[in-house]
Amino acid sequence: MGGTADVDLYGWRPEAVVFDCDGLLVDTEPCWSVAEAELFARRGLPFGIEEKALVIGKSLPGAAAVLVGVFDEPGRAVEIADELLTLVAEVVAAEAEAKPGAGALVELVAAAGLPFGVASNSPRALLESALQRGGFAGAFPYSVAADEVEHPKPAPDMYEIACAALGVAPADTLAFEDSLTGLASAQAAGVRVVGVPTLRGQAFPADHVVASLLDTDLVAWVRGWKPV
């Protein structure tokens, strides 16, 4: 992770950029973890790294579909999703902050004159709350949320829809993702990915991986995207 830049990627200039939100632009993953830990605690269950890996990056319905089995609560996916949404919304609204370097990187992308947007596996209300808390309210010309597509991440639909809305082919688009779920979605759509993994120590087969959005080579690369 980090290290030498991928020569092929860093020698390329994308025509559009799509950012994930949770864990990438805004540090909501600790908020999700607090909510998820409470969800598990209410059932007398422990919550650790393995449990987190089961749900990170997933949409609410996707997470609930997994948790139905973990909790042995068949037929209660909707109720679990609603319970988790209520818990996480409270924490995000009170505690979420922008990830280091996120604001400056978004400003560099905007200065380059590229079409850009957000594709989030959170529902619209939670996405807007996270962006507001992170200081990104009104910063993105385009955004799409999980409850606005038929198949959220890891399906390619969200990236295909975002690329179409931005008017750029997936092959000419760059994504920033922090989870394997988001990575799978972007790659399935044919979008190149810079990975900034939230969970350390796991294989993350993006086109290039950095430890944070403050990575000096990454920032220099994006700064070099002069308007054409």
DSSP string, 72-105: T-TT-HHHHHHHHHHHHHHHHHHH--BPTTHHHH
Mean predicted confidence (pLDDT) in 38-51: 95
* Claim to verify: residue 80 and residue 157 sit in the same structural domain: no
Q: What is the pLDDT of residue 36?
A: 94
* 22 noted as active-site residue: yes
* CATH assignment at residue 12: 3.40.50.1000
Q: Which helix (H) or strand (E) holds 133?
A: helix 124-133
In a domain, 2, yes or no: no
Give the pLDDT band (50/70/90) at residue 6: low
pLDDT tens for each residue of 152-192 = 999 999 999 999 999 999 999 999 999 999 999 999 999 99
Q: Give the up-direction half-sphere exposure of residue 18: CA atoms within 13 A in the CB hemisphere.
A: 35
Given the residues 22, 27, 207, 215, select the one marked as catalytic.
22
What angle is formed at CA 142 by the lines to CA 209 and CA 124, rounded to 5 degrees? 90
Whether the per-residue pLDDT at 94 is higher than 50: the answer is yes
Position with higher pLDDT, 150 vs 59: 150
Assess whether 157 carries a catalytic annotation: no
Question: Which residue range(s) make up the domain with 90?
Answer: 29-95
Active-site pick, 20, 157, 207, 215: 20
Q: What is the mean pLDDT of residues 88-97?
A: 91
Q: Based on the fold, state whether residues 141 and 200 are members of the same structural domain.
A: yes
- Asked whether residue 108 falls in the same domain as residue 219, the answer is yes
Residue 4 has pLDDT above 80, yes or no: no
The structure tokens listed for 182 are 């988001």
Confidence class for position 2, pLDDT limits 50, 70, 90: very low
Residue 194 pLDDT:
98
Decide if 134 contacts 35 (C-beta within 8 A): no
101 and 23 in one domain?
yes
Residues 103-118: what's their mean pLDDT?
97
